[in-house]
């Protein structure tokens, strides 16, 4: 299943990302904000655990998200601000890392580094802002699946119809929550209208 956000605030924020006047600092902060909104959509029915807390009027039984069952995995580099944003909401969530790079000529992605905690019985939020050909996400999902997670949910900011469909076809059991699906993939495998290279925009390297 994939779910494109219908939230007008999310659309507003995505359009700020497209604007070339948006500085790299604002770009990262905007990605953080979008990520927190789509994470809350994705986790709206996530398992909770009872806790007894002390409030200003004494002890109270409350339900809290079971963060022990969650692992956040950004695909670096562009996924980093997504992790930073979600950790502001769920600071005790475990995180793992996948560093991947798409070859500019062939658009094939390659994993350069990984550090993934035990995923048995966990739900993974796989974080990558861009789904262009879908190749990076598919490689990332394959890598995580070999660790037997209970479930993988992808959080993405922009996708092409081609890339989203390809990921869904490859992994029908993986849900995707995406802020916006744009018109198309261009001849250089960039999303149009898109926002350019998300990693370069975020880290000022273009
Ligand atoms: C970008 C983006 C995705 C990937 C999407 O990363 O962040 O990971 O490309 O393209 P695909 O769907 O065709 O695989 P890139 O490899 O440029 O690395 P970066 O995050 O370091 O910029
Ligand atoms: N990666 C990006 O950052 N942007 C695109 O449009 C495609 C791949």
Burial 29-51 (b: 16+ CB within 10 A, else e): bbbbbbbbbbbeebbeebeeeee
Residue 75 Cβ < 6 Å to ligand 2: no
CA–CA dist 99, 111 (Å, integer):
6
Distance (Å) from CA 130 to ligand 1 centroid = 6
* 89-93: average pLDDT: 97
Count Cβ atoms below 10 Å from residue 121 Cβ, excluding itself. Answer: 11
Q: What digits encode the pLDDT tens for the residues 41-70?
A: 999 999 999 999 999 999 999 999 999 999
Per DSSP, what are the bridge partners of residue 158?
130, 180
**Does residue 51 fall inside a structural domain?**
no
How high is the pLDDT of residue 192?
98
**Does residue 56 fall inside a structural domain?**
no
Q: What digits encode the pLDDT tens for the residues 150-199?
A: 999 999 999 999 999 999 999 999 999 999 999 999 999 999 999 999 99
**Does residue 33 fall inside a structural domain?**
yes
The domain total for the chain is: 1
**Does residue 59 fall inside a structural domain?**
no
Residue 194 Cβ < 6 Å to ligand 2: yes
Is pLDDT of 103 > 90? no
**Does residue 57 fall inside a structural domain?**
no
Contact between 187 and 11 under an 8 Å Cβ cutoff? The reply is no
The H or E element containing residue 165 is helix 161-170
Task: Among 101, 136, 192, name the best residue to mutate to test ligand 1's pocket (greatest count of ligand atoms within 8 A of Cβ).
Answer: 136
Contact between 44 and 5 under an 8 Å Cβ cutoff? The reply is no
Q: Which of 94, 102, 128, 139 is catalytic?
A: 102
Has 102 been annotated as catalytic?
yes
Atom of ligand 1 nearest to the CA of 99: 21
Q: Which residue blocks in 7-119 are alpha helix, DSSP H?
A: 8-18, 24-42, 80-89
**Does residue 193 fall inside a structural domain?**
yes
Q: What digits encode the pLDDT tens for the residues 115-150?
A: 999 999 999 999 999 999 999 999 999 999 999 999
CA–CA dist 206, 22 (Å, integer):
14
Count Cβ atoms below 10 Å from residue 197 Cβ, excluding itself. Answer: 16
How high is the pLDDT of residue 206?
83
Any idea which ligand is nearest the CA of 141?
A: 1
Cis upstream peptide for 32 (omega within 30°): no
Atom of ligand 2 nearest to the CA of 199: 3
Q: Residue 189: give the domain boundaries.
A: 2-46+65-203
How high is the pLDDT of residue 106?
85
CATH number at residue 113: 3.40.50.2020
Residue reference for tokens 């950004």: 74
**Does residue 58 fall inside a structural domain?**
no
Query: Could you tell me which of 97, 99, 98, 169 has the C-alpha nearest to residue 133?
Result: 169
């Amino acid at each position: 299943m994939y779910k494109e956000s219908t939230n007008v605030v999310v659309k507003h924020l995505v359009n700020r990302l497209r604007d070339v006047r948006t500085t790299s600092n604002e770009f990262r902060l905007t990605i953080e904000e979008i990520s927190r909104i789509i994470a809350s959509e994705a986790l709206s029915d996530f398992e909770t655990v009872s806790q007894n807390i002390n409030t200003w009027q004494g002890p109270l039984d409350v339900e809290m998200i079971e963060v022990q069952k969650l692992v956040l995995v950004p695909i670096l580099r562009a996924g980093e601000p997504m992790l930073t944003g979600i950790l502001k909401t769920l600071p005790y969530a475990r995180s793992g890392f996948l560093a991947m790079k798409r070859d500019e000529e062939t658009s094939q992605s390659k994993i350069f580094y990984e550090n993934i905690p035990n995923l048995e019985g966990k739900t993974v939020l796989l974080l990558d802002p861009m789904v262009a050909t879908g190749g990076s996400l598919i490689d990332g999902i394959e890598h995580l699946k070999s660790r037997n997670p209970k479930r993988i949910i992808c959080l993405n900011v922009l996708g092409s119809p081609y890339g989203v469909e390809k990921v869904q076809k490859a992994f029908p059991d993986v849900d995707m929550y995406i802020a916006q699906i744009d018109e198309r993939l261009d001849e250089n495998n960039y999303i149009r209208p898109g926002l350019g290279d998300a990693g370069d925009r975020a880290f000022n390297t273009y």
